[in-house]
């Protein structure tokens, strides 16, 4: 049995296998041929952090696969009143078939998985957001940008940047990350990425100047500068991230015709200009839709490993 907690746990072949399955399931959905891959199965969805895309895509996804989704906010279950994670994990293991958790610390996901006898899926943690990166790469692949791929990530060294590090180091493409000083990716995640890159041939750079990162890139991406739980730091962050907005001038350093991606929600005028966002809106909303198809593929893939 396998869990989906971070791309660190997956080989290049497994990641591409899931992407291929996602494309197959997407094609079936577009043709209105919804196959009951998970007929009668139940997905428990624990939300310790609220969400738009994660909730809708998982709930719609399990329904389209022939199963049922249960929304479990911490206000509604005993976990929110102090029940130990390991007890909730053991209870749900006897009642549902898969569990998705959107939470704070990565260690909470890992503890839940240790005591679970069913597959556990990360809907996001403060350390990683692996499901988002499957959707990102699926979008890149569909639009033919996977050949000679050079990704520039500009912004906060957060869970999205960490997941880009895992994806690049596993698949072997070039990744340049540019953050303000003091906001670099976690050193442990970086060390893991550099080790994986020795095997895959990935080229990974951490840069101060965003223009250096974007120069010649085929894909440019960013994320909010103020993630959930960081609202008290907003004023400080907005000041320290000046010069890191992906605007028209910044995009001009990328390769002509470069793709722009954003995991959403996007805050125009901060990490991305409205002009750049709207110019690349089709790519961005393809990316958002692909959360649905990538997540369906992960659920089906995990069920097959049991």
Per-residue pLDDT band at 74 (split at 50, 70, 90): confident
Give the rounded distance of the alpha carbon of 46 from its chain centre.
Answer: 17
The answer to whether the CB of 194 falls within 8 A of the CB of 188 is: no
Reply yes or no on whether the pLDDT at 78 is more than 90.
no
Residue 231: per-residue pLDDT: 80
From edge to edge, which strands make up the β-sheet containing 68-73?
A: 68-73, 42-47, 98-102, 120-124
> How high is the mean pLDDT of the chain?
96
Per-residue pLDDT band at 246 (split at 50, 70, 90): very high
Reply yes or no on whether the pLDDT at 67 is more than 80.
yes
Q: Which has the closest alpha carbon to 97: 131, 122, 68, 76?
A: 68
Per-residue pLDDT band at 228 (split at 50, 70, 90): low
Residue 100: per-residue pLDDT: 98
Reply yes or no on whether the pLDDT at 82 is more than 80.
yes
Average pLDDT over residues 280-284: 98
Angstrom distance (rounded) from CA 75 to CA 94? 21
Reply yes or no on whether the pLDDT at 226 is more than 90.
no
Reply yes or no on whether the pLDDT at 230 is more than 80.
no
Average pLDDT over residues 30-48: 97
Q: What is the pLDDT of residues 167-210, one digit of tens each?
A: 999 999 999 999 999 999 999 999 999 999 999 999 999 999 99
Average pLDDT over residues 231-246: 92
Q: What is the pLDDT of residues 90-115, one digit of tens each?
A: 999 999 999 999 999 999 999 999 99
Reply yes or no on whether the pLDDT at 229 is more than 80.
no
Residues involved in catalysis:
102, 129, 132, 223, 263, 291
The answer to whether the CB of 137 falls within 8 A of the CB of 23 is: no
Q: What is the pLDDT of residues 118-162, one digit of tens each?
A: 999 999 999 999 999 999 999 999 999 999 999 999 999 999 999
Domains of the chain: 7-129+291-304 (3.40.50.1370), 132-287 (3.40.50.1370)
């Amino acid at each position: 049995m396998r869990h989906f907690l971070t791309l660190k746990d997956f080989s290049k072949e497994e990641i591409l296998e899931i992407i291929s399955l996602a494309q197959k399931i997407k094609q079936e959905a577009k043709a209105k041929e919804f196959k009951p891959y998970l007929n009668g199965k139940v997905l428990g969805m624990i939300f310790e952090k609220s969400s738009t895309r994660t909730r809708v895509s998982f709930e719609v996804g399990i329904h389209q696969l022939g199963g049922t989704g249960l929304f479990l906010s911490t206000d509604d279950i005993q976990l929110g009143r102090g029940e130990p994670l390991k007890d909730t994990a053991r209870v749900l293991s006897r009642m549902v078939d898969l569990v998705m958790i959107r939470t704070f610390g990565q260690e909470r996901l890992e503890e839940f998985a240790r005591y679970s006898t069913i597959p556990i899926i990360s809907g996001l943690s403060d350390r990683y957001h692996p499901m988002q990166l499957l959707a990102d790469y699926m979008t890149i692949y569909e639009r033919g940008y996977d050949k000679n791929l050079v990704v520039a990530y500009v912004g906060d060294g957060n869970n999205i940047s960490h997941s880009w590090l895992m994806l690049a180091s596993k698949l072997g493409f070039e990744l340049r990350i540019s953050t303000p000083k003091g906001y670099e990716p976690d050193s442990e995640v970086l060390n893991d990425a550099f080790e994986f890159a020795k095997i895959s041939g990935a080229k990974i750079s951490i840069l101060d100047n965003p223009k250096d990162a974007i120069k010649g890139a085929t894909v440019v991406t960013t994320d909010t500068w103020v993630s959930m739980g960081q609202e008290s730091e907003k004023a400080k962050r907005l000041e320290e991230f000046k010069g890191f907005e992906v605007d028209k001038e910044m995009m001009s350093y990328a390769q002509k015709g470069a793709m722009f991606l954003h995991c959403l929600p996007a805050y125009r005028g901060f990490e991305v200009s409205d002009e750049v966002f709207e110019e690349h809106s089709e790519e961005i909303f393809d990316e958002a839709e692909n959360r649905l198809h990538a997540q369906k593929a992960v659920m089906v893939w995990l069920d097959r490993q049991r």
